[in-house]
Structure 1
């Protein structure tokens, strides 16, 4: 595989798949619920080497050619974040290491792992460079951490308190107060007023909105799609009660009107 710049890499020749799976929020709730039920430890680590090494090569750059060795290529010491395969390489490497430690992927999600040794069960979950460890005692968590530290450059974040815009305590109580405040701050310039209900009463939304070019122009600078996506994350994580309203407003992402906003 020879890489000099990213643009020359061809789909189907140099690579086929570039995606890196992440654990689904609703699936992550399962090991958290088990942790509460069995009073397990829940810790978090940040994998610094999120983009793991691979055999990437490039031609010698101009100005750095080695005399009489111009035909040789350079092997990159680290994978580059800009390479299309980097995220997928990271996931496959981390997954392989966890499986070498006798972890097995859970059926519902390829980023959730489980290991049982001498009737003791560990759980791990992966979201890009965030890694959760769930085990019975701090000693068992520490044992797994020590093993992972030998294979990765990681930051030990200790017992999980805040992760993926979710605040978590040991009961478990999950809320998104901080994320909601950030959302309101981000879109405050576009929100004329606040209401106490998830949706305006008696609202009758339709595809005929906007009905004029003037209304379309008025919505050009309104971040409707971004706002819907942000609220969707709240809905999936902690606010299933607004799912009905999100189903309505998400239908008009392609051509929203003032009434939709």
Structure 2
């Protein structure tokens, strides 16, 4: 009798892959009262409140009668290094921005998010030219953005003033959760960088460039994470020192872990991957022990808008495809499959869901794959477009951009 064991076909037992919670990783509290009972979470709360005081974020005032007052809550998160080792407890006070009223306590909104294409191009230039690449994080970035509107917020839970319990916080600086907070921080940073001689890119508003003679410096902004590279170490260090004088920033370090991207640089070049992101995604959808597959998408049958039974709740499908879209930052091999699945976001079916899980199976066998920037690469632009205007028979039902596969520019 031929068994799977005799044919060397082994399916891992899931119970042996369950990792026990480490004793030094505290549970994330659900309420501020739970957090106050733990020394480590109390320290995290105190750090956040101290940052509010240091930046003069708000003033306690009597509750206004004719103004909207937004609530606030604490967000508790355990922070880990890229290796999965526990780092620290982090507590963040977040305003309930969904209670804001447009035209009353906010007008314009904007989020400084650097484009993935821009990051890839700048990294390719830096690696090809053997430039140093530094990363830094701004502490409580939004608290350093000045508000233009009159905004009131409830006092932080657990830190209500005993002498004035009915008072509210009149915000002077932006707070995480406010609709205009990212824009306020961006304008603050932009004004400072322009005063140093930087120019704001017209193609990507989160890219700033500085040219002094024959030297160049590029600065990329993703909310409160900054990437900086340039032709001279002295020029980069000068900008880093000026940033540290103006804002509260963490010590800069060589690029290693940025926006969930794991960077490994050698003399041969730079390798970017999202291994930890992939592992976390597989855990989330219980696909860690899934049987790996060799391709992210089946060549047939072709997915259509009406293939399969519609999902009763499309939310989970949309979350998964959204996560895969961010993963396509370094996994260009799944770009076409993810782009195809994105065309069914408005009406996904069981067939679309199975196709999305197939991508997870493919990732389960290739978690360390990524994109490589060679140090010997020539700075020449190469582009390829496979246009397929007539290949989608449902072009009248769903919006398509006219492109099938778009290959990387380098």
Q: Could you tell me how far apart the structure 2 residues matched to 1:59 and 1:87 are?
A: 17
1:132 deviation in Å? 1.0
Residue 182 of structure 1 pairs with residue 280 of structure 2: yes
For residue 69 of structure 2, what is the aligned residue in structure 1?
4
The answer (yes or no) to whether the contact 2:314–2:348 under 8 Å persists in 1 is no
TM-score, length of structure 2 as denominator length: 0.54
TM-score, length of structure 1 as denominator length: 0.82
For residue 109 of structure 2, what is the aligned residue in structure 1?
18
Residue 209 (structure 1) aligned to one of 307, 327, 345: 307
Q: Please, what is the CA RMSD of the aligned residues? A: 3.1
1:162 deviation in Å? 1.5
Q: Could you tell me how far apart the structure 1 residues matched to 2:154 and 2:300 are?
A: 66
For residue 233 of structure 1, what is the aligned residue in structure 2?
326
For residue 164 of structure 2, what is the aligned residue in structure 1?
64
Residue 40 of structure 1 pairs with residue 131 of structure 2: yes
The answer (yes or no) to whether the contact 1:27–1:108 under 8 Å persists in 2 is no
The answer (yes or no) to whether the contact 1:106–1:113 under 8 Å persists in 2 is yes
Q: Could you tell me how far apart the structure 2 residues matched to 1:75 and 1:230 are?
A: 37
Residue 168 of structure 1 pairs with residue 168 of structure 2: no
Residue 245 of structure 1 pairs with residue 337 of structure 2: yes
CA 1:259–1:76: 2 relative to 1, 3 Å: closer
User: Which secondary structure state, in structure 1, belongs to the residue aligned with residue 246 of structure 2?
Assistant: coil
User: Which secondary structure state, in structure 2, belongs to the residue aligned with residue 134 of structure 1?
Assistant: strand
Q: Could you tell me how far apart the structure 1 residues matched to 2:248 and 2:100 are?
A: 29
Q: Could you tell me how far apart the structure 2 residues matched to 1:117 and 1:98 are?
A: 14
The answer (yes or no) to whether the contact 1:167–1:175 under 8 Å persists in 2 is yes
CA 1:202–1:57: 2 relative to 1, 3 Å: closer
Residue 82 of structure 1 pairs with residue 188 of structure 2: no
Q: How many residues align?
A: 250
Tell me: higher relative CO, structure 1 or 2? Use CA pairs within 8 A at least 6 residues apart: 1
CA 1:100–1:222: 2 relative to 1, 3 Å: closer
User: Which secondary structure state, in structure 2, belongs to the residue aligned with residue 19 of structure 1?
Assistant: coil
For residue 113 of structure 1, what is the aligned residue in structure 2?
208
Q: Could you tell me how far apart the structure 1 residues matched to 2:100 and 2:314 are?
A: 35
